[in-house]
Amino acid sequence: MCVLGDPVYKSMYRLSQGEIEFLGVEDFLKNYIALETKFEYPADVKYPCIPQNVDDTTTIYPRSGKSVITGFEYLEAKNRGCRFWDTEAYIIPYRISGKKVTGKRFEDMLKEGNEKCIDYQENAPFLEIEKEIQRERRKYPKGTFENMFEKLKGNAGYGLVCQGLSSKRKYDIKSKGMVVMSGGEISNPVIASSITGFIRSVISETLNNIEYLGGRVLSVTTDGFITDIENLEDKLLNLDYKKIMLLKYYRVLRSILSGDPSAYELKHVEKEGLLSWCTRGQVGNTDRGILAATGFQARGYTRKEIYRDFKEIMKEKRAIEFVQTSLRGAKDVYEKGGHVTMSYRDQSYRLVYDNKRKVLTSPGSKLLDTEP
C-alpha cells in the first residue's frame, strides 16, 4: 500500500496477449494491471496464487480455471510456469514525475535490495501516512494499548480503500433495516485489489519455495503461515532471484517503511504438539502458543486443556458444547432499549475440515498432505 502510485485513468490502455508477454518486471510492479484470463499451472505447483470463487463466501486456489487477477498474481504465476490464454488485459500507469528507474538497472537494484529502485515516492499517496503510523507504533511495546491503536489506524486506512466494494450490509437507523454499505471518498477497487493481490502473491511465492526447500506448510491465512523450516528468510535469500523476486520487492518496501528489510516475523514456536483442522483452526500444546479457533470462546481454558479436549473430539468426531457469552449488540439496544448487559446462549463447535484443498490420504500418518 505504501508505494502504490496515483493512478492515471486517462492514460489507461489495453494490452494484447503478445504485449503482455513482453512486459518487464518493473512494468508489473510499477503499474496497475488487471487481467481476465484462463490459466493452467504445471502439475508440480503445489500452491497456486490465482483465486477462484466457488460461491459468495468461499475462495479456492486451483491449478486451472478462469479468473480476474492483478499484475502481481500474473507475474508470480508466470514465474511458476503457468500458461495463460484468452487473456484481456488493461494497464493503468502510475503518475510519475522526475527520473524513472527501468529495465536492467531496475532489476539489478532490486536484486541488491536497493531502495532507490523505487524512485517515485512523491506520487505515492499513502507512503507518508504509512511511515508515520509504523514509526508511532514502534514507540510502544507489542501488546500495549498504544501499539494496538496505531495498528488499528493502519488497518483502517486499508479498510477505507476497500469500503463498499464487497456489498456488505449494515444496519441503518433511519430506515431501521439492513442496507448495502456504500463506498467512501478513497474507496478504490484498483488500489484495493493491488494490495491484496501483492500480498497473496508474496505468500504463494513463499509457500512454493518452502516446498522447493523440502519443508512443509501446515496452514496459511491472509498474511501468515505455519511451517517447519527454521531461519526461513535466510534460506530463501540464497535461492535464485527469479524464485524470490516478490520477496525481494517486499523487503525493499519493509526497508522504506521501517529501516529493517526483514519480511517475516516469527509469532510462535511449537515443539510439544500442534493440532490443525481448517484454515483458521489450530491449537498448540503450550500455554503461550498458537490458538486459532474462530467461533470457540477459550476463556477459562488453558491451551493444554484445549489441545487435550480438541484431540479427543477429533478422535470421536463430535462437537464440543459450550456457553457463549457476549454483550448485547448496538442494534438490539437501539431497537429494544435497556442497558448493555451480558447475554448467553448454548453453542456447538465442530472441528471440521473446510475442503479448500484436497486431502491426500496417507494411512497411519498424523499429518495429511494436501494439493490444490
What was the pLDDT predicted at 172?
81
pLDDT per residue over 61-76, tens digit each? 999 999 999 999 999 9
At residue 294 the predicted structure's pLDDT band, cuts being 50, 70 and 90, is confident
CA-angle at 285, arms to 199 and 325, nearest 5°: 80
pLDDT per residue over 116-140, tens digit each? 888 765 578 898 899 999 999 999 9
What was the pLDDT predicted at 100?
64
- Asked if the model's pLDDT at residue 20 lies above 60, the reply is yes
CA dihedral 199, 201, 203, 208 (to 10 degrees): -170
Kindly state the percentage of the chain with pLDDT values over 70.
97
Q: How is the chain split into domains, by residue range?
A: 9-127+188-258, 274-371
Pick the residue with more confidence: 250 or 95?
Answer: 250
pLDDT per residue over 324-371, tens digit each? 899 998 888 888 899 999 999 999 988 888 888 998 877 667 778 899
The average confidence (pLDDT) of the chain is 89
Alpha helices in 281-344 (DSSP H): 303-316, 330-336
- C-alpha cell, 252: 525493499
pTM: 0.90
Q: What is the mean pLDDT of residues 300-329?
A: 88
User: What letter does residue 77 receive in the DSSP assignment?
Assistant: H
* Nearest by Cα to 75 from 262, 201, 182: 201
- Asked if the model's pLDDT at residue 297 lies above 60, the reply is yes
What was the pLDDT predicted at 102?
65
Write the CB contacts of 149 (distance below 8 Å, at least 6 apart in sequence).
none
- The DSSP line for 12-65 is -EEE-HHHHHT--HHHHHSEEEEEEEEEE--TT-SS----EESSSS-EE--SEE
Other Cβ atoms within 10 Å of 310 Cβ, number: 20
Q: Measured in whole angstroms, how far is the alpha carbon of residue 367 from the centre of its chain?
A: 24
